Amino acid sequence: MKNLIIYLLAGMLLTLTAHAEEQSDEVLLVVIEAEKFMVNWSPSGEILGRAIVYRCAECAPETMSFGPHTELYINEQPRPINEIGNKVDWTGLITVTNKEPTKVIRFTAY
């Protein structure tokens, strides 16, 4: 009986470990609400520029990069990514992934 309990616990532990490893490989979208983000449009290779992101007025800024595949939405309308360089200060949402938290996938500005 004692061995049966040990085997059951070991089996459960292995199952949980395998499931945890599956989840760690999953790419998740992370949407950040930015009180303000400042854009430096300076194309260089695959990087079109950098954004300094302020989640709140008291929060430390985070630097993120964006490239030609980054999407831009202004007032819910898709726009060419180069239009992000028309203005320096923006407010909105920034979408990244849990695997690359400093690479912007989408800017949603309003």
Higher per-residue pLDDT: 73 or 10:
73
Residue 72 lies in a domain: yes
pLDDT for the residue numbered 25: 85
pLDDT digits (tens, 9 = 90+) for 3-58: 555 655 566 666 666 555 555 789 999 999 999 999 999 999 999 999 999 999 99
**Which of the 8 DSSP states describes residue 58?**
T
Residue 7 lies in a domain: no
Residue 66 lies in a domain: yes
| In contact, 70 and 60? CB cutoff 8 Å | no
- Structural domain harbouring 80: 29-109
Residue 22 lies in a domain: no
How many independent structural domains does the chain possess? 1
The CA distance from 88 to 37, in Å, is 8
Residue 23 lies in a domain: no
Residue 33 lies in a domain: yes
